[in-house]
Amino acid sequence: MSAPDTAKHPCFNVKAKGECGRVHLPVAPKCNIMCNYCNRKYDCVNESRPGVTSGVLKPHQALEYLTRILEKDPRITVVGIAGPGDPFANPKETLKTLRLIRERFPQMLFCLSSNGLGVLPYLDDLKKYGVTHMTITVNAVDPEIGRKFYAWVRDGKVLYRGLEAAKVMWERQQAVIAGLKERGIIVKVNTIITPGINDHHVEAIAAKMRDLGVDLLNCMPLFPAAETIFEDIPEPGKEEIEQIRTKAEKYLPQMRHCKRCRADAVGLLDQDKSAEFASCLSACSKTLPPMQTTDRPYVAVASMEGVLINQHLGEASSFQIWAEQNGAFTMVEVREAPPKGSGARRWYDLARTLKDCRSVLVSGVGDTPMAILSEEGINPLEMSGFIQEGLTAVYKGGNVNAFKHRREGKTCKAMGCTGDGGGCG
Ligand SMILES: C[S@@+](CC[C@H](N)C(=O)[O-])C[C@H]1O[C@@H](n2cnc3c(N)ncnc32)[C@H](O)[C@@H]1O
Ligand code: SF4
Ligand code: SF4
């Protein structure tokens, strides 16, 4: 398979912007620093503002979402991760997403946008997963100016403020850019033009970025976001930005077509479809992890009489264990459930009791046991109806969603079960 074509990135190559699109996968909710212009809180689907998203995805959900997006818009050539926080404040999720996508879509370009603080330990992973483009936000090359941008910077367990914070950021950003260039990755720098703070400093930034080998500079106008320290700073005008870009262009090529995209942007730069795909994102944010079938031949069922799935996880005192052989289902045994009332431990004990089961079919399940069992490799599936139909869906790859159904008026919450291990009966 040939390497992905790096010219097909609409942000780095303006000529590609009419034919090639990008999708931002919102898999990185946390951030390791606090910029004085960033507000990731409020989402309005009609608003294009950095950092906002209509939902957050887990890596396997991001893969599912991307698959659906590509079916509808095959012009997408770039997968980006631009928050809503920072990809390297969520390195596990970021790298897993890259790995899953690289396996299924080897031709995709990868582009990550980061403040740079947490990137260093992952430089080789970025190369390994074929990250082609990176953006690092550098708002100052002088920590006395940089300190005005950051409320705090958290590096591992150490929290920095003021000048110390800006020094840590600047040192790290230089090392990261050098490391990316050593690995042949194309680097863009975003500089957020903030009147009265760094608008007089951009030539110095451009010169330093050129010396570090940066490929492209994106002088982005500040969006004065509500409820931020910079909310009252006026947004720089088009003319002012153009003057700044003209000066910076002496040192580095300029990006002039940036849309200040959302963390869940989709489509061509001039035809954002994030509002159109918001329901797809929301549906994908609810999909369960793929079932682990290796070493998990059985399915557990919460049933009062062995015909219907009709008990909540917490009210079942025992589980029937079912197996499939040559297309037929047999109940092999009944296992006692761990006693009620031991908090989260009960769900970990249940995960051990069902360690050879790929799924547990129940008519209701609280959020805590859902999360614990899923993490332990067992998919709790909420459904009602005949056991045989549920088993068919699980073993034969049917649509388990078709059976999903909470008992009307008897959801876990309605029954007073908080999923805390106290039982929902
Ligand atoms: C939301 S961030 C996510 C990536 C990463 N955390 C970062 O800051 O580089 C994407 C880009 O949006 C920029 N940004 C965030 N809030 C902004 C604002 N209010 N005005 C202009 N740019 C903003 C960031 O500086 C960054 O360049
Ligand atoms: S690094 Fe990015 S996500 Fe984090 S506070 Fe700054 S702009 Fe927001
Ligand atoms: S924010 Fe700018 S650089 Fe990033 S995807 Fe949008 S247009 Fe491209």
CA of 34 to the centre of ligand 2 (A): 6
- Given a contact cutoff of 8 angstroms between Cβ atoms, the answer to whether 199 and 185 are in contact is no
97, 103, 106, 108: CA torsion to nearest 10: -20
CATH architecture of 298-403: 2-Layer Sandwich (3.30)
pLDDT of residue 424: 43
DSSP per-residue codes, 137-165? E---SSHHHHTTTEEEEEETTEEE-HHHH
Residue among 47, 86, 113 to mutate when testing ligand 1 (max atoms within 8 A of CB): 113
Consecutive 10-residue averages of pLDDT for the chain (425 residues): 78 88 92 91 61 83 91 92 91 92 91 96 95 96 97 93 97 98 96 97 98 96 92 95 97 91 86 86 77 83 94 95 92 94 87 95 89 82 91 74 48 47 43
Closest residue by Cα to atom 23, ligand 1, is 50
pLDDT of residue 212: 97
259 pocket-lining for ligand 3 (C-beta < 6 Å): yes
Residue among 37, 218, 274 to mutate when testing ligand 1 (max atoms within 8 A of CB): 37
**pTM as predicted:** 0.75
> What is the β-pairing status of strands 131-137 and 186-193?
parallel
pLDDT of residue 2: 67
Alpha helix locations (H) across 187-227?
202-212
Residues 6+ apart with CB under 8 A from 237: none
- Given a contact cutoff of 8 angstroms between Cβ atoms, the answer to whether 38 and 51 are in contact is yes
Q: What ligand is nearest to the CA atom of residue 11?
A: 3
Report, in this order, helix, strand and coil percent for the chain, each rounded to 5. Answer: 30, 20, 45
Residues 6+ apart with CB under 8 A from 167: 143, 146
283 pocket-lining for ligand 2 (C-beta < 6 Å): no
Helix (H, G, I), strand (E, B) or coil at 209: helix
131/134 Cα distance (integer angstroms): 8
269 CA closest ligand 3 atom index: 7
308 pocket-lining for ligand 3 (C-beta < 6 Å): no
pLDDT of residue 390: 92
Helix (H, G, I), strand (E, B) or coil at 173: helix
pLDDT of residue 416: 44
Q: Where are the domains of the chain?
A: 6-284, 298-403
Closest CA to 299 of 365, 375, 356: 356
CA of 50 to the centre of ligand 3 (A): 9
For the record, the structure tokens of 198 come out as 């760094």
- Tell me the CB-side half-sphere exposure of residue 161, using CA atoms within 13 A: 1
pLDDT of residue 272: 83
Which residues face 110 on adjacent strands? 79, 131
Residue carrying the six token digits 């700044």: 244
Residue among 34, 38, 53 to mutate when testing ligand 2 (max atoms within 8 A of CB): 38
Q: Rg of the Cα trace of the chain? A: 25
Closest residue by Cα to atom 5, ligand 3, is 261
Looking at the domain that runs over 6-284, which CATH code has it been given? 3.20.20.70
